[in-house]
Amino acid sequence: MTLMSPAVAARFKTAKGFLNRQMARTVHFTVLAYFIVFILGHVAMVFTTGLIENLNHITRGVNDSSFGGLVLFLIGVAVVVAAWVLATPLRSNSHASFNMAGDWSLGGPAIFLRRRSPLLNSKRRTSHPTFGRMANRS
């Protein structure tokens, strides 16, 4: 459930004006691009100025050449990748599991908005190969 969805924007009449959905998407994309460049730049600096020593300073706070910092770094990367894989919509085949995830993460607001908006509870069939399959199951 997102407040940038067309159904919610139409219901709360936030689709018009300067601070509309497209402006929010533009700002979010710009900030995302900045963070990606920022992170890649800093990771490149860590790698080029001595990977093992820098990772030991960052993760363990020690000044040695052991592989403890690298191990912690690789565990951190594995946790982030696992969270990304678990969070991606490709892991789910049904609309109900998206609703359950929204209910679990947002609680009351997600349940309230889904019950109040007829567009979110639509039973109509669609011709889209993926979304049609999801809508037809509910």
Distance (Å, whole) CA 67 – CA 59: 11
Distance (Å, whole) CA 96 – CA 118: 16
Say what the pLDDT of residue 138 is.
47
pLDDT in tens, 72-110: 999 999 999 998 888 776 555 556 666 666 666 666 666
Say what the pLDDT of residue 135 is.
47
- Cα 76 to the chain's mean position, in Å? 18
Highest mean predicted confidence (pLDDT) among 16-20, 96-100, 113-117: 16-20
Highest mean predicted confidence (pLDDT) among 5-9, 32-36, 121-125, 133-137: 32-36
Distance (Å, whole) CA 131 – CA 24: 25
- Whether the per-residue pLDDT at 111 is higher than 90: the answer is no
pLDDT in tens, 39-62: 999 999 999 999 999 999 999 999
* Mean pLDDT (the chain, rounded): 75
Token pair in block for residue 36? 């990606």
Q: pLDDT above 70 covers what percent of the chain?
A: 52
Distance (Å, whole) CA 131 – CA 129: 6
Q: Are 129 and 20 in contact (CB under 8 A)?
A: no
Say what the pLDDT of residue 123 is.
52
Q: Are 3 and 15 in contact (CB under 8 A)?
A: no
